[in-house]
Amino acid sequence: MKKKNLVIATRKSPLALWQANWVKIELLKRHPRLTIDIVGLTTQADNRLVEPLYHIGGKGLFVKELEEALFDGRADMAVHSAKDVPMELPKGLRLAVLCKRDEARDALVSNQYASLKDLPKQAKIGTSSLRRQSQLLSLRPDLNMVPLRGNVNTRLAKLDNQEFAAIILAAAGLKRLNMAERIRRFLSMKEIIPAAGQGVLAIETRDPDTDTQAMIAPLHHEATGMCVTAERAMCRRLGGGCQVPIAAYAEKKQNQIYLHGLVANRSGTRVLRAVETGSSKHPEQIGARLAEVLLRLGAEHILHD
């Protein structure tokens, strides 16, 4: 019997609430008699905004409280940015839906400078991500990278208060919040490879809850799911979280997946890049193969350090 009410768990940030409401709207288009409630929760990542994520535990801090709401029945699903979901899920939970990917690239946001090359030496650049930091430093080792946490509005306010010459944000978040005009430049894949799952909304459910899974299944985008599966498989094999600069981005062209991967040290003095292709029927294998290529190139030593 189909459920008549669904509860979505989400973080309370403006972007997270936008994402949960987008899922709600899309579900109501398909199930107009359904009622959907949204429960906003505060996560450890929201409470500990001073310390860099790689010091306090990484991606899991964004989702732990939402997953607890799934386990204890307060919610039927949790909506996440896929890039924030740890590569290993707790037993009993699954990523049931990966929505169609939006913009995957990172964005340069600045009130003064239009590109990376325009930034003056020792310019203060705000970012919460070791992945972004290492790739930026490989291009501009003279930049001064400063940890920047908080929601999108908080980060933009610090930029507007002239605490930074520029900040780096996921372009998808700015677009979703109707702030695309703040983007001075999209950073190309040659400049910065994004995080696995960037630009994708993920819906997590209890594994045995087949009723909820059936109702949300129309929101799953097959090509995006294949690409994100390959990206996450690469990161899973490498053991990647927020503590290590790892990047992955896949594209599906006809029946092939083209997966770009990167491992770097924090200073950006060692950057390993590789590409792996294969049948879209086997995305996990493509991700695992690319991880092995990167390990052979020397990623193991970088990860160990």
pLDDT digit string, tens, across residues 110-152: 999 999 999 999 999 999 899 999 999 999 999 999 999 889 9
Same domain, yes or no: 266 and 209? no
Confidence category of residue 239, pLDDT binned at 50, 70, 90 = confident
Q: Residue 135: give its domain's CATH number.
A: 3.40.190.10
Asked if 160 and 24 sit in the same domain, the reply is no
Burial of 234 (C-beta count, 10 Å sphere; 0-12/13-18/19+): buried
Mean pLDDT in residue range 215-230: 98
Contact 54, 32 (CB under 8 A): no
In this prediction the pTM is 0.92
Quick one: residue 57, left, alpha or beta (phi over 0 = left, psi -120 to 50 = alpha)?
Answer: left
Mean per-residue pLDDT for 10-14? 94
Quote the domain boundaries for residue 162. Answer: 106-186
79 and 205 co-located in one domain: yes
Q: What is the pLDDT of residue 45?
A: 58
Residues 1 and 94 in one domain: yes
Question: How many alpha carbons fall within 13 Å on the CB side of residue 171?
Answer: 19
Q: How many domains does the chain have?
A: 3
In a shared domain, residues 170 and 84: no
User: How far apart, in Å, do the first and last CA atoms of the chain sit?
Assistant: 53
Q: Which of 84, 118, 207, 305 is catalytic?
A: 84
**Active-site residue flag, 37:** no
| 97 band by pLDDT with thresholds 50, 70 and 90 | very high
